[in-house]
Structure 1
C-alpha cells in the first residue's frame, strides 16, 4: 500500500470526502438486512403470511409473490435508517465542512491521503451542554475506504482525535457507532474506549433491535503509544 499521511480538510476535498462518507455507510445495508432476516418475528412473517395465503387461496404463486414482496420490504427497511442519516448529514454538517469543523479551535476535520486520493476521514466537534462539568469532544464520521483497511489508517485517525482532544484540554472523547459497524466498534474498544450505553436512531431501529453504541475515552496525561 502507498504511504499515507493525515492532514486537515480542504474545500477541494469535498466531493471525495462526501463520496467516501456515503460509501462507508451504505456498505452496512446488507449486514442490516441479514440481521433482520435472523429475527424471530421475521421468520414468522416469511413463513406465516405465505402459508395463510396459500391455505386461503390454494395458490402457491400468490404465496411466492407475497414472500418476494416481504423480502423487498425488508430491504427497504434495512436501507431506511442509513439513508436517513446520510441525508441528514448532507443537509447539515457535511454540507459545509469548513464552517462546521474548521471555524473553531475546538473542532476539526481530518483526511487521510494516499497516492493523491482521500482514503480516510474523521471529524471532531465539542459537545455544547452548559450543564456538563467536563469538556467533552465528539468523534464522528470515521471512515476508511474498503481497499485501504487493515493498514492502521483507522487507528491513526482515532489517535489524531485523541491527541487533538488532549491538546485542547478536553477530558473525554465520546463516539456513537452502530451495532453493525463491527470493525469500528472493535477498533474503539481496542483503543481504550468504554461502552457507556445504547440508544436507537429511529423507531425502525428499535423494532429491528439494532442499537447505537455509546462509548467514551478518558484523556490521560500521556496517551498510549506516545513517547
Structure 2
C-alpha cells in the first residue's frame, strides 16, 4: 500500500469525501440482506409460502418460484433502506462539511491521503452524553475505502479523535455503528469502547431487527 498521511479536511476534498461515505454505507447492503434472511421469522415465512403454494398449486416448482420472487423483491427494499442513510447524511453534516466541522467550536474533520487520493475520513463534533450529564465528543463518519482496509487506518483515525477530545477537555467519546457492521464493532471494542444502548431508528428497522448501537469510551481524567 502507498504511504498514507492524515491531514485536515480541505474544500477540494468535498466530492471525494461524500463519495467515499456513500460507497462505504452501500457496501453494507449485502450484509443487511443476509442479516434479514437469517431471521427466524423470515425463514418461517418463506417456508410457509413454499408449502402454501405447493398445497394450492400442487407444484413444488411453482412454490420454489414464488419463494425466489419474494427473495428478489426483498433486495431493492434493503438497498433502498441503506440508501436512505446515505441521503440523510448527505443533506445533514456532509452537506456543508466546512461549516459543520471546520468552523464550529470543538469540531474537526480529517481525511487520509494516499497516492494523491482521499482514501479515508473521520469527523468529530460535540454531542450530549447519553450515560452521564454533560457533553461528549462524538466520533462520526469513519470510513476507509475497501482497497485500503486492513492497514491500521481506522485505528489511527480513532486515535486522532481521542487525542482531539482529550486536548479539549472532554470526558468521553461516543459513536454509533450498526448491527451489520461487525468489523467496526470489533475495532471500537478493541479501542476500549463499550456498548451503552441499542435502538431501532424506524418501524421498518424494528421489523428486520436492525439496530443502531451506541458506543462510549470514558477518557482518563485530567490530573
Do they fold alike, i.e. is TM over 0.5? yes
Q: Which residue of structure 2 aligns with residue 51 of structure 1?
A: 51
- 1:50-80: per-residue Cα shift (whole Å, max 9, x none)? 3212311334454244212210232133223
Residue 63 of structure 2 is matched in structure 1 by: 63
Map Cα deviations across residues 30-64 of structure 1 (whole Å, 9 max, x no partner).
11111111111111222211321231133445424
Q: How does 1:74-113 map to 2 (within 5 A)?
A: 74-113=74-113
Structure 1 window deviating more from structure 2 (65-74 vs 182-191): it is: 65-74
> Cα deviations across residues 112-164 of structure 1 (Å, max 9, x unaligned)?
111111111001111158xx733211111101111111111101101110011
Alpha carbons 1:196, 1:214 under 8 Å: kept: yes
Q: Is the 8 A contact 1:36 1:208 kept in 2?
A: yes
Q: 1:124·1:138 contact (CA, 8 Å) conserved in 2?
A: yes
1:1-227 matches, within 5 Å, as 1-60=1-60, 62-127=62-127, 133-221=133-221
Gaps of at least 5 residues in structure 1 are 223-227
Q: Which sits farther off after the overlay, 24-33 or 212-221?
A: 212-221
Contact 2:128 2:134 (C-alpha < 8 Å) held by counterparts = no
Q: Name the residue aligned to 1:225.
A: none
Q: What is the TM-score normalised by the length of structure 1? A: 0.90
Deviation readout 1:160-181 (Å, 9 max, x if unpaired): 1001101111111100100211
Q: Distance in 1 between matches of 2:29 and 2:204?
A: 14
Per-residue CA distance 1:85-115 (angstroms, 9 max, x = gap): 1111111111111111111231111101111
Which secondary structure state, in structure 2, belongs to the residue aligned with residue 180 of structure 1?
Answer: coil
The alignment's C-alpha RMSD in Å is: 1.7
Count of aligned pairs: 220
CA spacing shift, 1:48–1:70, aligned 2, 3 Å: same
> Structure 2, unaligned stretches of length 5 or more?
none
Contact 1:134 1:171 in 2 (8 A): no
Q: Kindly indicate whether the alpha-carbon contact (under 8 Å) linking 1:36 and 1:74 is maintained by their aligned counterparts in 2.
A: no
